[in-house]
Amino acid sequence: MTEILISIQPKWVAKILDLSKRWEMRKTIPKAKGPFRVFIYQTEGGGVIGEFVCDSFTEVDPGEITKRILTDTQLTMQEALDYAAGNTVYLWRIRSLVDYPEPKPLSAYGLERAPQSWCYVKGGDSGE
Three-state secondary structure along the chain?
CEEEEEEECHHHHHHHHCCCCCEEEECCCCCCCCCEEEEEEECCCCEEEEEEEECCEEEECHHHCCHHHHHHHCCCHHHHHHHHCCCCEEEEECEEEEEEEEEECHHHHCCCCCCCCEEEECCCCCCC
83 within domain boundaries: no
74 within domain boundaries: no
82 within domain boundaries: no
pLDDT at res. 127: 35
pLDDT band at residue 122 using 50, 70 and 90 as cut-offs:
confident
pLDDT tens per residue, range 41-73: 999 888 999 999 999 999 999 999 999 999 999
Q: Which whole number is the average pLDDT over 88-107?
A: 96
Q: Which range marks the domain in which residue 15 is found?
A: 2-56+92-121
pTM over 0.85, yes/no = yes
115 within domain boundaries: yes
> Please, what is the average pLDDT of the chain?
93
Total of domains in the chain: 1
37 within domain boundaries: yes
31 within domain boundaries: yes
111 within domain boundaries: yes
The domain that contains 108 carries what CATH number? 2.30.130
